Amino acid sequence: MKLTLPLALAATLALGSCASIVSKSRYPVAISSAPAGATFSIVNREGREVASGVAPTAVTLKSGSSYFQREKYTITFRLEGYEEKVMKLEADVNGWYFGNLVFGGAIGMLIVDPLTGAMYRISEKELQGALLPLGQGLAAPDENLLRVMSLDEVPTSLRSKMVPVQ
C-alpha cells in the first residue's frame, strides 16, 4: 500500500503526455453534399491535397500540422450545374492537452503532444456542402425574393457586389 502512491506518481510523470495517451491525432469526418454526388477536394494549410472523392464518404484527417501548429483544411465541392462551394475546417485545442498541467507532464506538454498533433482535435464529425444551382445565388432574376444566408452560402461570383449594412 505504501508503494502505490509513489508508483502512481512516478508513472504519471513518466507518461506525462496526457493528450497523446488519452486522445488521438487523426479524426474521421463524414463528407456529404446536397445534392449527393458532388466531387470534393480537401487541401491542407500547405496547399497539398490530402483527400478527394465523391460525396458521401468518410475521410480521416490529421489534427496537427507541425510542432505547435494546428491543421487547417479547405474543402471544395463541385458538381456540374451548381456553384462551387468552399468550406473551411480547422483543428482546435484538445482539452486533454491541459491534463499535462494537472499531472506535471512538462515533457508531454512541450514535446510529445505538440509533435504528435494530439494537442489538437477536429471537433467537426461531419461536413455537408450545400450546393446552389448556377444562376440562383441569391434569387432568380425574375423573382423579387429576399433570401437570408450566411457568407459561405453566397456564391463567389456575387461577393464583390455585396455592401455592408450599418
Pick out the chain residues at pLDDT < 50: 9, 12-17, 19, 139-140
Q: Which of 101, 93, 114, 119 is nearest to 19 (CA)?
A: 119
> How many domains does the chain fold into?
1
Q: Which residue has the cell 505547435?
A: 68
Q: So what's the pLDDT on residue 129?
A: 92
The CATH number that applies at residue 59 is 2.60.40
Q: Which of 76, 7, 74, 73 is nearest to 38 (CA)?
A: 76
Q: How many CB atoms lie within 10 A of CB 122?
A: 23
Contact 127, 89 (CB under 8 A): yes
Residue 152 lies in a domain: yes
Residue 11 lies in a domain: no
Q: So what's the pLDDT on residue 97?
A: 55
H or E element at residue 18:
helix 18-22
Residue 1 lies in a domain: no
Residue 12 lies in a domain: no
Count of residues making up the chain:
166
Contact 52, 44 (CB under 8 A): no
Residue 2 lies in a domain: no
Range of the domain at 60: 24-134+144-156
Residue 13 lies in a domain: no
Q: So what's the pLDDT on residue 69?
A: 80
Residue 3 lies in a domain: no
Q: So what's the pLDDT on residue 65?
A: 73
First to last CA, the chain: 69
Q: Which residue has the cell 473551411?
A: 88
20-31 burial, b if ≥16 CB within 10 A, otherwise e?
A: beebbbebebeb
- Predicted TM-score of the model (pTM): 0.64
Residue 84 lies in a domain: yes
Contact 17, 100 (CB under 8 A): yes
Query: What gap in Å lies between CA 96 and CA 124, rounded to an integer?
Result: 17
